[in-house]
Amino acid sequence: MDLTIENILLIGSLLLFISIIAGKTSYKFGVPTLVLFLGIGMLAGEDGIGGISFDDPQIAQLIGIISLNFILFSGGLDTDWKAVKPIMKEGLALSTLGVLLTAVGLGTFVYYVTDFTIYESLLLGSIVSSTDAAAVFSILRSKNLALRANLRPTLEMESGSNDPMAYVLTIAFLGLVINQDKGLASMIPLFFQQMILGTIAGFGFGKLSKIIINRIKLDFEGLYPVLVIALMFITFSVTDFVGGNGFLAIYICALYLGNQYLIHKKTILKMYDGLAWLMQIVLFLTLGLLVFPSQIVPVIGIGLIISLFLILVARPAAVFISLIPFKMKLRRRFYISWVGLRGAVPIVFATYPLLAGIDKANMIFNIVFFISLTSILIQGTTLSVVAKWLKVSIPSEEKILTPSEKFLEEHPKTEMREIGIANGNKVVGKKIVDIEFPKTAIIAMIKRDEKYITPNGSTAIKEDDVLIVLSESKKGIKKVYKALKIREFSSA
């Protein structure tokens, strides 16, 4: 079946519906939903029962890049800076040195077990060198896995920030495959350019986005998530245009925004959570359609050997070497090694050799697809088991929540105060979002001119307002008084 304008919406919506319904029960059988989405895409493809003809790597790459924007941005919004800050150095070591060592280690192994040239081998190693954000975010959160100490933020930060390094290595070694007269030294300027510009752009656009979101006055609350989507794509595109790494920029931008006070933040977080899932489904379905199972079968043998080497040797060696300077228990290092999930990102990166038209492009793509599939099946299905075996998991009730989970979850409020705003108070005229109100409390109502109004982040405080504040504790009430620039009285 050929995709046409007339049937693309019907086919797409049916595949999406089937994926959601099937994904609802997949975990009962221990199968990650990501594998299910890939499988449905493959079944719907030309080699499957659907017979849909889709062989356009360029469209698949475009869908992949758009989807990764949403997935990385959503992951950044959901990352708690306070949790990430203590493990920043470890995360950076894993997302840079760890990726490089994985690429070189696996590439060297591929060179000796295949007929690939050294640059083709290193290209394959680079494509699968990073852990996949979509796989890590979705599997960790879907399994509701609670991990000890700083393991979860370490894993999520690594997966969210290591794609830029893998991208640089992929582009660099692809260039060396095409132009073998260039040397490895040509990679160094590209790496620093991508990382430095990506970091600067990420922070810059993050601060600019906060100002725009909080200052602009839109007539409808539903337009704020749309505004954030526009800012996200501007961040990626402008960064890429000036030669920086767009993936790094949008992750940093989202990480900054997720830890700031924003108008209608609850709406934005809910919208992005749904969009991230939608993009994961679309991405894996598309990549499943792009794959021809008949072409995977011939590479199963060599693919399994390479995949097992990556899981059992290359990834653990890279992790242990990268974390040498840091104090960390051995069992935690082993668990980080095991959560080296490969998913959609390597498959998206594998479309670059296809578009470049190099000789081994099809074989590289099929091997990469097989590696991603086996990684999700072997590692993705055993995350909970290995966590318990290594004693790095904790009871779910002790789980540390992400910012959106904290923000969206309904907490019982046990303390209430009615706080009057006197004339001359410094918060008069300010929006609630600009007051930096404590996260452990909410302004439930505002009594103004004998009327009660329900406030939101864009509501401005006026003289003689009476704020009805709910908090989880007396300590939270004290923080409220401090934020409102009011001296607390015991009778309040």
Task: Write the Ramachandran bin of 144: left for phi over 0, alpha for psi from -120 to 50, otherwise beta.
Answer: left
| One-letter identity of residue 55 | D
**What is the rounded distance in angstroms from the CA atom of residue 373 to the CA atom of residue 392?**
25
Which two structure tokens, joined as six digits, stand for 358? Answer: 């190099």
**Residue whose structure tokens are 């940093």:** 252
Rounded to 5 degrees, what are φ and ψ at 468? -95, 105
Give the strands of the sheet with 415-420, arranged side by side: 415-420, 466-471, 441-448, 451-453
CATH code for residues 412-483: 3.30.70.1450
Query: Residue 206 in contact with residue 192, Cβ under 8 Å?
Result: no
Q: Above 50 in pLDDT, residue 217?
A: yes
Q: Above 70 in pLDDT, residue 409?
A: no
pLDDT of residue 116: 93
**What is the rounded distance in angstroms from the CA atom of residue 125 to the CA atom of residue 368?**
9
pTM: predicted TM-score of the whole model, two decimal places: 0.75
**Residue whose structure tokens are 């049916």:** 14
Which residues have C-beta within 8 Å of that of residue 447, sequence separation ≥ 6? 418, 465, 466, 467, 468
User: What are the boundaries of each domain within the chain?
Assistant: 5-403, 412-483
Which of helix, strand or coil describes residue 222? coil
CATH fold, domain 5-403, is: Na+/H+ antiporter like fold (1.20.1530)
First to last CA, the chain: 71
88, containing H or E segment: helix 88-93
Query: Residue 87 in contact with residue 326, Cβ under 8 Å?
Result: no
Q: Is 249 exposed, middle or buried (0-12, 13-18, 19+ CB in 10 A)?
A: buried
pLDDT of residue 149: 65
Query: Residue 132 in contact with residue 342, Cβ under 8 Å?
Result: yes
pLDDT of residue 10: 74
DSSP of 122-133, one letter per residue? HHHHHHT-SPPH
CA dihedral (11, 13, 19, 24) positive or negative? negative
Domains 5-403 and 412-483 alike in fold: no
Query: Residue 421 in contact with residue 446, Cβ under 8 Å?
Result: no
Q: How far is CA 304 from the centre of its chain?
A: 27
pLDDT per position as a tens digit, 349-362: 988 998 888 888 88
**What is the rounded distance in angstroms from the CA atom of residue 28 to the CA atom of residue 36?**
13
pLDDT of residue 235: 96
Of the two residues 492 and 392, the one the predictor is more confident about is: 392
Q: Is 397 exposed, middle or buried (0-12, 13-18, 19+ CB in 10 A)?
A: exposed
| One-letter identity of residue 301 | G
pLDDT of residue 373: 86
**Residue whose structure tokens are 């049937």:** 7
pLDDT of residue 410: 45
The full length of the chain comes to 492
Q: Above 90 in pLDDT, residue 200?
A: yes
Partnered with residue 448 across adjacent β-strands are 451
pLDDT per position as a tens digit, 313-344: 999 999 999 999 988 889 889 999 998 888 77
pLDDT per position as a tens digit, 437-463: 777 788 888 888 878 887 877 788 888
**What is the rounded distance in angstroms from the CA atom of residue 240 to the CA atom of residue 201?**
10
pLDDT band at residue 411 under the 50/70/90 scheme: very low
Rounded to 5 degrees, what are φ and ψ at 451? -120, 155
Which two structure tokens, joined as six digits, stand for 198? Answer: 């990506």
